[in-house]
Amino acid sequence: MFNFFTNQLDYIYFIYGISFVVLSVVIFHACFQTKLKIPLLLLGIFSAIYGLAQWFYLAQILFKNAELFAYIRAGIAALAMTFLFEFGRKGLIAYKVKVPGKWIFIIIGIILCAGSYFGGHEGFHTASNYLICCGALTAAAVFIIAYRYENTKKYFYLIIGVFFILGSFVTMLEVPGASFFPASVFNEQSFVQQFHIPIQFCSAVLIVILTIIFAIFLYEIMDYGKEFHFSMKLTILYLPITGILAIVIGGWALTNYVSNGSDKTRRHSFIQLAIVSSYTINSSQIASLTGTSEDSSKENYKLLKKTLMDLRRKLNYDSYNQSCRFAYLLGKRDGRIFFYADSEPEYSEDMSPPGEPYNEASVDLFNCFTNGQPFVEGPMMDKWGYWVSGLAPIRDRTGKTIALLGLDADAREWCRNYAFSRLIIIFSIMLTCLIICAAVLMVHILTLTAAKRLITIEALEKSEEKYKTLVENLNVGIYSNTIGNGKCFTEANTALARLLGFETVEEFRKTPVLSFYRNPVDRYDYIKQLRKCGFVKNYELLWQKKDGTPIVISLNAQAYFNEEGQIKSIFGVIEDITERKKTEENIKRSRETLNRIIDSMPFGVTIVDKNKKIRLANKKAIEMTGNSDCAEVIGKICHNFICPSNEGHCPVLDMHQKVDLSEKIMLTKDKKRVPILKSVTPIIFDNEEVLLESFVDISERKQAEGKMKELNKELEEANEELKNFAYIASHDLREPLRKITAFGGILEKSIKEKIDGEDSENLHFMIDGAKRMTQMIDGLLCYSRVSSKGHGFEDVDVNIVVNELKQYELGMLLEETHTVVNIPEPLPMVHADMLQMRQLIQNLIANGIKYQKKGSAPEITITSKMAADNMVRIEITDNGIGIAPEYHNMIFVMFKRLHRQSEYDGTGIGLSVCKKIVQRHNGLIGVESEQGKGSTFWFTVPCAKVLSEVKV
């Protein structure tokens, strides 16, 4: 089998090359149907060049300088490899994969040069193949990634990627054996030894299948339209593939038939040449020789040698089909073949002396002595070279074969002639295949062009139908007509007919155009404008409907001229703008009214566009900026008027700040800075988004605020002095009052028995007054300490505060009065001054105990609930005498009392202190009560921080 494939190696290389060429044609067409246009174009160039490289093997067979053509073939393969690498790079880049830059080709060039330097053309070929292997793997990566991202026929990308991987391994085996790995293990020789077929055959089969797959892929992804679907399937898929395969298979049979026939003819001619040449040999001269070295001195040996030399010379000079390198006589003795004489001179290294054995003799050569049949042997290799030998028997008079005449021809020339006879057929088949490819290409282009044309025609028909439907359903009138006097509209849609009061288009088209003009002169002006410019745009005319109703129309028209420059026809669009004109007039009047209103406003108003130019300014704004006329402001940059900010730092347009009743600075014409209160609001003005700015001069207010700040400061200082005075005065008054009380008590005891009842009563009043004055001073001191001596706020447990009051400060009072304090539910934590919170609750509980009916036991209930803004409302309810509603606010005023001192003692300061404490905690205090029904005092304080965070 190996010999069979070896004999067909030229045809295998032809199939190998033509497959790559066809593949390149297919890829060139496929590249314009995917996103990999440039990469696939590079892949097609690689296929074409690599196919050409395979055909250079055929040139190696034909020409003697095989090494030169081997270098050329390897160089073309290396060139193809660069396109394959570039395909991989571009393809990966198309799918956003990072790849090496073009510097990679420098490394590739170095590898190729190194292979050529160390291994000659075989090393160059090996390096090139290994690089193609790497390029094929890169190409496979591109197609596998495309399988992930492409949506159309994506499984083809995967199949093609797998074939490129297989191709890379096959290419790796197409190298000669070498001492380095992997060429030492994976090479042509090892593959042949293992599988007994040339690796080139596997490569050709692989490329043929890949070409068919690419052809199917091309058909599947291209849209030829329904009309050409089946025909294109036949044209670019079935027929070309079937035709080329049939031609290749038939061509192989024809090539072998012709080449084998030619070889038989040449062998027959060579045998006849040997037979004819044998007639020139004298058999009696051979019979006189012994076939030993002694023959060299004999005259018959010399005559035979001269005859052989003349025979070789004559065969080479005359026009025979095959040149002769050696002519010789062979004999047989004792089962061995030996030389009688040859055509080589005595001094030649190739001369065989008489009697020298011929050890390379074949079985056919021995048989020729027996059967006496001439034959051609070879091509074969012996120690003299590579030959084809023609052997004819020489018989004696009895018919016995006594010697064989041998004629040796160069086998390389013989094989070259044999290859040439095959290559003529191969090149003919190649040309036929290329013609088929060109025909397929032409049919493909023509059919695709026709398909696109049909698709375009179909699209135009649909577009025209859509256009007609659109025209009929538009709300504006569309028409065409001529300018002849009295002519009617030639074409019009339904909207135009109805616009002018007609029921049908047919009725409308019978009406002269001039009848719609309220002033016929307008038509002549309109036609004059058309002749001058060739078109009119937004041209307004006064028309009338069928019933005479006046309307205003806006006309857009295009004139078409004949060769003489006269208007041939007019195409136009008519829109009824009567209502729009009325609206525009109303808007104009409204704007004038608005301008008057804006001008009458007592504050400045401006409108600034997105380019920071002032579009509008009222009189007050012009006045405030120090200008006398609006022309000095309108169109100017607002940085120079109104706002002193630098270019690019506009608070609204550049820095996107919000200006809403904000205090700003205005820059007047004379660069004076005026404080203003300003608001900026985005609005739509003349269909454009602009800024409406309003501002008022607050110079007087700023001056008043400055004076107010000074007065507030003086008032705060006076208030502080008053606080200090009240505290100091209250503190200093306590000392003389204590003395009055003490000495008054001592005096009362010492003279109690010595004075009468009236003096005793007066003395008691004096001492009691001093005691009440002391209580009032203590109350004042307590009231003053709420603000001046307060502590920091902390989380306070109100339950603990109430329990401690019951145990300590109010313990004795509760026991004496038999008071019951109820807490139905636990009280919350609050954020407060703990000491003031104790004082607040103590005062309210004490009041509940104090203001009771005689003989009743006090009962106090304390509850709580959450209020708004993270506040806690605490309520202290008693069963006392109650408070009439008209006194609910009065009781919190300093020194206000509702009862005489003799009924209920007190200073009238306690509730004022409670109110002061609650206000310090940003809370509220109040009472809910009726006369005789008890009272509920409530207040709000902030809830504890922990509770507030949990609630949030």
512 in Cβ contact with 536 (< 8 Å)? no
Q: Which of 757, 772, 789 is the last residue of a domain?
A: 789
Sign of the torsion formed by the C-alpha atoms of 934, 939, 944 and 949: positive
Q: What is the pLDDT of residue 820?
A: 94
Give the up-direction half-sphere exposure of residue 107: CA atoms within 13 A in the CB hemisphere: 7
Residues 682 and 709 in one domain: no
- Across 684-699, b (16+ Cβ under 10 Å) vs e yields eeeeeebbebbbbbbe
Say what the pTM is.
Answer: 0.46
Residues 138 and 205 in one domain: yes
Answer yes or no: is 284 within a domain: no
Residues 163 and 22 in one domain: yes
Q: How far apart are CA 80 and CA 74, in angstroms?
A: 10
Residues 112 and 169 in one domain: yes
Residues 166 and 56 in one domain: yes
Q: What is the pLDDT of residue 938?
A: 96
Answer yes or no: is 388 within a domain: yes
List the CATH number of the domain containing 326: 3.30.450.20
Residues 706 and 638 in one domain: no
SS3 864: strand
**Nearest of 243, 245, 244, 171 to residue 206 by alpha carbon:** 171
Residues 48 and 190 in one domain: yes
Q: What is the pLDDT of residue 562?
A: 87
Q: Please provide residue 274's backbone torsions phi and psi, each rounded to the nearest 5 degrees.
A: -65, -40
Mean pLDDT of each 10-residue bin along the chain, 952 residues long: 69 84 79 69 87 78 67 83 88 86 86 82 82 89 86 84 90 79 80 82 86 77 52 62 83 87 88 89 88 88 90 72 80 90 86 89 88 89 84 89 90 79 84 81 73 80 77 78 73 86 87 86 87 89 90 90 86 88 86 81 83 82 78 73 56 56 78 82 82 83 85 77 62 69 76 73 70 68 69 92 91 91 94 92 92 89 93 95 90 81 77 91 94 93 68 38
What is the rounded radius of gyration, in angstroms, for the C-alpha atoms of the chain? 62
Answer yes or no: is 387 within a domain: yes
Q: What is the pLDDT of residue 725?
A: 62
Domain that holds residue 125: 2-222
Q: Which of 789, 824, 851 is the last residue of a domain?
A: 789
Residues 143 and 192 in one domain: yes
Answer yes or no: is 683 within a domain: yes
Q: What is the pLDDT of residue 319?
A: 45
Residues 550 and 618 in one domain: no
Residues 679 and 706 in one domain: no
Answer yes or no: is 229 within a domain: no
List the CATH number of the domain containing 732: 1.10.287
Q: Which of 665, 697, 729 is the last residue of a domain?
A: 697
Residues 184 and 212 in one domain: yes
Question: How many domains in the chain?
Answer: 6
- Using CA atoms, how far residue 697 sits from 599, 602, 668, 680, in Å, is 16, 10, 12, 15
Answer yes or no: is 464 within a domain: no
Q: What is the pLDDT of residue 655?
A: 46
Residues 719 and 647 in one domain: no
Answer yes or no: is 692 within a domain: yes
Answer yes or no: is 282 within a domain: no
